[in-house]
Structure formats: C-alpha cells, structure tokens
Structure 1
Amino acid sequence: MIIKKRSSGILLHITSLPSPYGIGDLGPEAYKFADLLAEAGQRYWQILPLNPTETGSGNSPYSSHSAFAGNPLLLSPQLLLEDGLLHHHDLEHTDFSFRDDKVMYEEVTRLKHRICLQAYENFRTQPSTELRTQFAAFIREHSEWIEDYGQYVAFKNHFEHKSWVDWADEIKYRQERPMLELAHELAMEIEREQFLQFLFYRQWENLKKYCNKQQIYLIGDMPFYVSHDSADIWSHPHYFKLDGTGQPVASSGVPPDYFSETGQLWGTPVFDWEALEKQNFDWWVRRISHNLRLFDLLRLDHFRAFSAYWEVPASERTAINGKWVSSPGAKILSIVKIKHPEMPIIAEDLGEIDEPVRDLMQQFDLPGMRLLIFAFGDDMPRNAYTPHNHIKNSIIYTGTHDNYTMRGWFETQASYDDKSRLGHYTNTHLTADNVHEVMGRLAYGSVAQLAVLPLQDVLGLGAEATMNKPSTTDHNWEWRLKPGLFDWHQAQKLQKLMWLYNR
C-alpha cells in the first residue's frame, strides 16, 4: 500500500491560487498555501496536470501541446524578479485589471507572454554565468523531449499557428536538412521556449522541495491521451494511428451510457501499440517516469484505458459506433514497476469499470477512488462509494474537479430522495450551509487510507466555484481562491478534524 499512514489532503490546482497577475502561479502564494496545509494537519496537496494550456482548447490542463512541458502561465513574476530576470519597471505598467475570483485567460496569456519575452531578453543580454550553466545542464538532462518541444513551438509560430499537419511538407515530415535550416533560422525562438521550460522546472522543483520539507506530498495527474496538434505526435507520429497525411484514422472516447446517449467523442488519436511495443513502450515509460519525478504520487487519469479503451473510426461524428480494444497496460506498468518498485500511482477508476480493470489494479496494488457525491442514489446500501463499502487501499473524495461542489450539488443537482437518503444515513438535518461539513466528516471518517477534499468543499462554496463542467466548453478551469478566504482560522478547524478522525 503506497499510502502508509491514515492521512488527508486538499485538492487545489495551481491556477486557483491568489496572485496579483490574474492566475495562480508557483510564487509566494503557493508557499503560503503549503504553510497553511501543514498548519491544518494535511499531508497531501493534489493538483491537476501542469502541462501548457491554450485558449483554443478551452484552457483545459487535460488538452495540451506537450506531455512533458510545463505551463509558462504558472511562472511567478515575483520569483523572476528575485532571480534578476525581471526588473521592477518590467512589472509596473500592466494594462489589465484582473478579477480575484476568476482566471481571465486571454488577458493573462497576453501579460505572461510579455513578461516571459522580457525575462528571456534580460537573460540573453545580461547572462548570469551560474544561470547559463544551470540552463545548459537542464537541456542535457531533458534532451529526450526539450529539443522537439522547442522546435515545435517555434515552428508553429513560424507557420502562423497552424496545426503541424498543415506545415510545409518537409517540416511536417521532419526531413533532416530543411529542419536544420529552419531551426537555425529560428534558433533564438527555440532557445527562448527551452529557457522558459528551464524556469518552470526550476520554480516547480523549488516549490516541491519546500512542500516535502513541510511533510506535504504532491499528487499530480497525467492524462491518458495526448492532443493531435502536439509536439509529441509531430515528433513520434509512428506511435499513433495516423494516415499518410498525419490525420487520425481513429479517435478516443467513451461509449454511450446513462449520462450520454451518444457517448463522448474526445478527438485525440489512439496509440499504435504494436509500434510502441517494438520500442519496449519507451515513450510511455519515459512519460510516466517524468511525471513521477515531478510528483510524490501520480494519478493516472482514465485508468480503465490501461485495460481496454473505446476506439471510434475518425469518420464518425459520435462515439456510438466504436469498439473496445485491449491495451497493453499490464506490460507498461510492469516495466514502470522495475524502474519504480514502490509504484506511487493512483488509478482513476471512476465510471463503468469491469473486472479486468479491477484485476489490473489488484495486480499492481494500486489504490482507486471513491466519490461521496455518487454515493446516495437508489442503490445507496450497495453502492461502492457509500462509506460502509469503502476499502482501506483507496482514496475518498467528496467530489473532484469535474463535479459540482457539495453545496452546489445540494442546491442544484441532488434530488429530494438523494437528500433524504443522505439525511437518514448521517442522522442529520441537512441544509445548504452544512452539507459540505457533513460530507467532509463522512470522508474523514471513512476507512479509506487517504481523504482528499477540494478546497471549495472545505470552504462550503456553491456551484459558482465548480472548476470544470464536463461536456461544456465555456468558463471552465477559471475558479480562483479569493485572497484571505482560506486562512489560519480555517486551517485550525481542519487540524482539529484531523485529530478527531486520526488523520
């Protein structure tokens, strides 16, 4: 069991932290939040993927143009200032007035882009010998992906932000001489993108060290699929089911179910497992190992696809006419286990899960997830998410980033019968004001070894604080924690609950 002690944690993505620059970042507020977690008796801080986001993809951290790169929007201007890469006058004049409860992505992207350009320019014109040495070491350490990533971003800008399938053929198909010539022409832009990655990883690793020193351990998240228009697929097209022009011949998704008559069509290409196996799944293993360096525990999103996944022909407009295809997840995880014997991995096993998925989890002793928001339907007594059916090797949540907050669920989604069952189960008179506390206590009282609450549920916030509403594209991933809303008083209350439930 990877979680050795009965413990608890908080789910809050980096973008949701307070900051004067319109989006949470890896700067002072992240360190302050780690201090509050320690004061609250928490041992885990769970976040969403750290990969670059784009406004064209709805700013989703699960849809990125790189499976290895970090998001430059999360760079802290204050820390760049301390490093001498920015000067005070670089930050004095901003044309934006940011909200403190929402991320305004378009405005934030413009501001952070300007700041990043300035930081690189200052580095280039007044290079610090120490920083230059560290940068060179970073390039060597991350050589397996950083060159392709830098070229992809620079080339994409050169080709007016078109998808790589619409680039000039010699670059699209990675012909050696034309690529070298274009890379030479765009050398400064490529170095800038690589330098921003160096800064990101530097800031992240320093924050992780600080958290670990406080005995706060970081839980990260890794999507199963990668975006079609990404550095990964451009540089490794043979690992994906593509046609001769680079277009997918099959797409990912999930079949029709209770929530959707037509299923979900995600649009990301599926993997060519035969090609990957010929290379001993090297790309997959590197990807998981890369994330295990970033985090203390790694949640594998859409874990059921490590057993079998829903594959839909590219010509289809819905997910109805797909089929289940077996995947070599056991082979991949066996190789990972050799490299990481402790297997610090969490399986995201939500939704329709069959016995082969359960067997795979058991084979590698991976904890799964239990969500209280799904526990109080018609089948409550037998429901695996109901507290009396929990198991020790699992992680209990009130809900995740994809669910309404507990208050929002109570006010807008829960039926009269759902509320009645929850009230009977807890012998409590439920109200919108106390449902988050009731559900929080159920989570803490569970036999599950780890209890994780979204910070919104700790604070009792309503539906307006929901992070993501699946199957919608507008105004997701925007919620931010207002300054001072989670403070030492809140931390002390949590600490008392940790003592009460032996967490």
Structure 2
Amino acid sequence: MLILRSSGILMHISSLPSPYGVGTMGKDAREFVDFLVRSGQSYWQILPVCPTSYGDSPYQSYSTFAGNPYFIDLDKLEQEGLLEACEFKDIDWGGTSEKVDYGELYNKRYPVLKLAAERFLQAPSEAFDTFCAENGFWLEDYALFMTLKNMNDGLPWLEWEIACRNHDSKALENIGEEKKDDILFWKVLQFFFFSQWHELSAYANERGIDIIGDLPFYVALDSVDVWAHPELFQLDGERQPVDVAGCPPDGFSATGQLWGNPLFDWNVHRADGYSWWIRRIGYLCKVYNVLRIDHFRGFDSYYAIPHDAPDASSGRWQEGPGIELFRAMEEAIGPQRIIAEDLGFMTDSVRQLLKDSGFPGMKVLEFGFDTREPNHADYLPYNYPEHCVAYTGTHDNDTVQGWFTSAEPADVALAKDYMRITNMSDGHWDMMKELWASVAELTIVQAQDILGLGSESRMNTPSTMGANWSWRALPGVFDENLAGKLNYFTKIYGRDA
C-alpha cells in the first residue's frame, strides 16, 4: 500500500450533526467532506458501518456485511417521494444534539423506515433486483435472521426454538413464505443504505477524499454470521462457544478483557482456502477505499478464554493462520489497500507477520507517554517507520485534552516536556503538530481533537458499557476558521498530498 505523505480525520457517521438523532449519509456528511477538502485533508476514517446490536458497538454487529439502517438519510427518502415531511421531521429522537439515544432510535426509526419501504415496494426498481442478486450471498440470510429476531422479541438466536436455532431448512422455508413481506423490508433497508453509501463515497472520491473503513477481527455471537455458518467457529454440539475472545491482563487491567466473541475454527477456514475471509475482505475493500483490519495480531496468535470463565486471566494463546491467509487473499483478489491495527501485546512473530504482509501498521502518540509500558518509546515519533499510519489516539482512547486530565501526572509531564507545551489549553494542537511533523506516511487525528474537546466526547472506553459510541458534533463546529487553520498546518508539514 503506497501512501503519499498525507493526513485525515477520524469521524464516525453516527457523530455527524443531524436533526434526526444520529448522523446520517445526507447533507451533513457531504458538508463534512467539503470541510475535509478545505482543510487540505486526504482521508476520512470511519468506524464499521454495520448494524449495531446490544451495547450499540459497531464492533458487535448482527452482520459483518450489512449496513446500519440508522445512517439512512430520511431527507433523501423524502426527496424520492418515499416519505412525507410530517412523518419524521417532528419526531423527538431523544438524546441531545451532542449525544445519540440508541433506545429512542430503535423504537422510532424503524416505523418511519417501514413507511418508506412499503411505498418503495409498490413499484420496486430494477436496481433493487440487481442489488439483491449481487448481494444474495449475505443478504438472504441477513434478512431472514432479522425477521426471526423480531419474531422472537429480539432474543439471541441461541434462545430461539430449536428448528430455527439450528437453521433447519424446512422450518426456514416455511417462515420465508409466511414472512416474505418482513424479509423484503430488511432487504429494502439494505438497498436504501448502500444506494446512499455509494452516492456519498462517490461525492468524497470525486473531491479527492478517500474513505478508510474498518473490519472488526471478530464477529458477534448473536449474529447472522455465526447462526448461518456455525461450522466456521469453535462451537460445541449445542452451538455454544467452546472458548471466547479477549486479551490478557496488562497494565490497564489486572484481569484482562473478556470480549466474549466466538473464536474462528482456523482448521476449517484453512481447509477451504480461507474463502469466507477472502469474500469478507474483498467485499469491504469495495465498500471502502482503504480497509483498516482491527486486531491484526489475531492472525498470528489469538487469546482463547474458557467460555465460562469469570474474567480473562485464565486464557491462553493459540496459533492463528499467519501469512498463509493473506497470500491466499492476494492470489484470489489481488493486492488491496489495507492498514493493519497492530496495537496491543506484540511479539517478534507479530512483527514478522506485519513485515511479510507489507501493510502499514499503526502508531498511537498517546501510548508514547505511557510510562507503565516498557516499550512506550516505540510510539514516539523519533521511532516511527515511514511506512505506518500514526494517530494521536483511536476511538478506544481518550481525547487529547481528556488524556491530559486523566493520565498519570508523570506521563503528562513527559508529554509536556517532549512536545514543549507551554499552554495546556492549546495542548491538543501541540500533540497534533508533533504527529504531523513525523515521518509517518499518513496521520489521522480524531475530530474531537481538532475541536479541542475533553473526555465527555470520548467515543469508547473499553470494557465499559452505557456511555459509549454516542458522541455527536454540534452543528456549525466545522467552520471556515477551523478549516483554514488545519489547511495551514497541513501545508506546513507537507501533508497536502
């Protein structure tokens, strides 16, 4: 992956301003693209766009292939004659202009989208038939899965009646006939999503902005991926996970992190030439211009925790597929533009895998000042390789201003000395300038950091639930003054690719 010296901004679609409770692929998304252009940026990085499930995390989705219906722009549906203004513009979507209320969205968004889908299906387009045919390999199972989930009041598929839980073809055939209108509804929502997504992507690309998307390494247990293809995962005879995913104890957590995702059965994947992975990566490389693969180290070795363990301390490392998977991928679909998230517990074999893949890895500047970690200096700019993507922080980190107040005093003192900070209120600019000045080919900063926001705008705090994934930017904050300032520094540091 060859990258000209350039820069970009991390801003998830859900965080865009919008009068409808959550960011969408409408006017505000295009205005953000325009802001990126005026700022001299080349990349817009987002989080996974797949549907969120319990906990609202885009990394725990019902489907690795589907798009999030919340991001469908209602104004666009009105323009197409599928909605009336009175049907959505006066709804109280809950939350505030700075926070998403996912509970209100769940209760109120789908009835509005159902109105639009019913009108669309009165005269479905040829493009819809084409979309269904081209995406049938995931769309059929997804639409059926979501229909069954609604029939079961949202319960996880492991709690459905046994025939549906076990994907019995006769039972599913009967439900498919009985609930064909519901199944069509879920297909139409995906058609709406990807039609708008491709329009937004084209708008960005035509203006010189590439979109970096995200591929979560693991999939959720309560997902169509596991329900429809249990053979790909380490499950027992009752389709329960044998072991689950997580990470070991470290300086951040004495008991590690227990994620709970089912683990892949790599022997099965290897036996059929990694076809599921090749299809997944190839599909997402068409959705995005550049694909960031989360938890890249899991391809080298992964942490397996007994499914009934109370925490992650009893886990053990198991061998992953290694470079074999990526060689099979490149042979099947050719070289792809991929960023490897190589953060976390690193070993020589993980470093070798990254080198063999040729993908740029990641550096996080905040980590460079974490004196609890013996190798923290690896994340300081004087140690960056040119072939990497460098961040102030990711969606899992505090904002820069938040970090200044939440980090250990000794770490903050080190950062102040290293970056020659004299005014802490402008410290986020000092950290971003340090990043932009580095040799890293590509640098990405969070939208919260260019706005100088604190911990209240943090996107995610790992191993916590209830307050994550909800931050939204206020209307008007991405203004001409901010664009001009960003553009100035982008040129100073030679990142106006």
Specify the TM-score bucket, using the shorter chain as the normaliser: over 0.9
Q: Do the aligned residues in 1 keep the contact of 2:16 with 2:23 (CA within 8 Å)?
A: yes
Residue identity (%)? 39
Correspondence 1:10 to 2:6: no
Identify the residue that residue 124 of structure 1 maps to in structure 2: 121
- Deviation string, structure 1 residues 191-246 (Cα, Å, up to 9, x no partner): 10011011111111110011000110000111111111111111001111111111
Q: Distance in 2 between matches of 1:380 and 1:402?
A: 21
Q: Distance in 2 between matches of 1:268 and 1:199?
A: 29
- SS of the aligned residue for 1:324 comes to strand
Comparing 331-340 and 145-154, the one that deviates more: 331-340
Q: Distance in 2 between matches of 1:277 and 1:380?
A: 36
Q: Distance in 1 between matches of 2:95 and 2:250?
A: 40
Amino acid in the other structure paired with 1:403 = N
Matches for 1:268-307 after TM superposition, within 5 Å: 268-307=261-300
1:72 Cα deviation (Å)? Answer: 0.3
Q: Distance in 2 between matches of 1:455 and 1:489?
A: 15
Q: Distance in 2 between matches of 1:96 and 1:11?
A: 25
Q: Distance in 2 between matches of 1:14 and 1:329?
A: 32
2:470 to 478, 492, 502: 478
Identify the residue that residue 343 of structure 2 maps to in structure 1: 350
Q: Do the aligned residues in 1 keep the contact of 2:278 with 2:332 (CA within 8 Å)?
A: no
1:308 Cα deviation (Å)? Answer: 0.3
Q: Distance in 2 between matches of 1:96 and 1:404?
A: 27
1:86 to 70, 83, 86: 83
Q: Do the aligned residues in 1 keep the contact of 2:290 with 2:339 (CA within 8 Å)?
A: yes
Amino acid in the other structure paired with 1:395 = V
Q: Distance in 2 between matches of 1:466 and 1:76?
A: 25
Identify the residue that residue 39 of structure 1 maps to in structure 2: 38
Q: Compared with structure 1, are the counterparts of its residues 329 and 187 closer, same or farther at alpha carbon in structure 2 (3 Å cutoff)? A: farther
Identify the residue that residue 374 of structure 1 maps to in structure 2: 367
Identify the residue that residue 230 of structure 1 maps to in structure 2: 223
Matches for 1:242-281 after TM superposition, within 5 Å: 242-281=235-274
Q: Distance in 2 between matches of 1:92 and 1:490?
A: 30
1:436 to 428, 432, 436: 428
1:422 to 415, 426, 429: 415
Identify the residue that residue 502 of structure 1 maps to in structure 2: 494
- SS of the aligned residue for 1:259 comes to coil
Q: Distance in 1 between matches of 2:407 and 2:370?
A: 12
Q: Distance in 2 between matches of 1:377 and 1:411?
A: 14
Q: Distance in 2 between matches of 1:94 and 1:231?
A: 31
1:132 Cα deviation (Å)? Answer: 2.0
Identify the residue that residue 388 of structure 1 maps to in structure 2: 382
Identify the residue that residue 331 of structure 1 maps to in structure 2: 324
1:474 Cα deviation (Å)? Answer: 1.4
Q: Distance in 1 between matches of 2:376 and 2:158?
A: 50
Q: Pairwise CA RMSD of aligned residues?
A: 1.5
Q: Do the aligned residues in 1 keep the contact of 2:3 with 2:442 (CA within 8 Å)?
A: no
Amino acid in the other structure paired with 2:392 = T
Amino acid in the other structure paired with 1:45 = W
Correspondence 1:49 to 2:48: yes
Q: Distance in 1 between matches of 2:377 and 2:121?
A: 59
Q: Distance in 2 between matches of 1:342 and 1:213?
A: 23
Structure 1, unaligned stretches of length 5 or more?
Answer: none
Structure-1-length-normalised TM-score: 0.95
Q: Compared with structure 1, are the counterparts of its residues 377 and 167 closer, same or farther at alpha carbon in structure 2 (3 Å cutoff)? A: closer
- SS of the aligned residue for 1:9 comes to strand
Q: Distance in 2 between matches of 1:202 and 1:196?
A: 10
- Deviation string, structure 1 residues 382-405 (Cα, Å, up to 9, x no partner): 711111111100111111111111
Correspondence 1:204 to 2:197: yes
Correspondence 1:60 to 2:53: no
Between the two proteins, the alignment pairs up a number of residues equal to 494
Correspondence 1:454 to 2:446: yes
Correspondence 1:401 to 2:428: no
Amino acid in the other structure paired with 1:392 = E
- SS of the aligned residue for 1:194 comes to helix
Q: Do the aligned residues in 2 keep the contact of 1:21 with 1:108 (CA within 8 Å)?
A: no
Identify the residue that residue 461 of structure 2 maps to in structure 1: 469
Identify the residue that residue 71 of structure 1 maps to in structure 2: 68
Structure 2, unaligned stretches of length 5 or more?
Answer: none
Q: Distance in 2 between matches of 1:498 and 1:348?
A: 24
1:335 Cα deviation (Å)? Answer: 1.8
1:96 Cα deviation (Å)? Answer: 4.1
Q: Do the aligned residues in 2 keep the contact of 1:405 with 1:463 (CA within 8 Å)?
A: yes
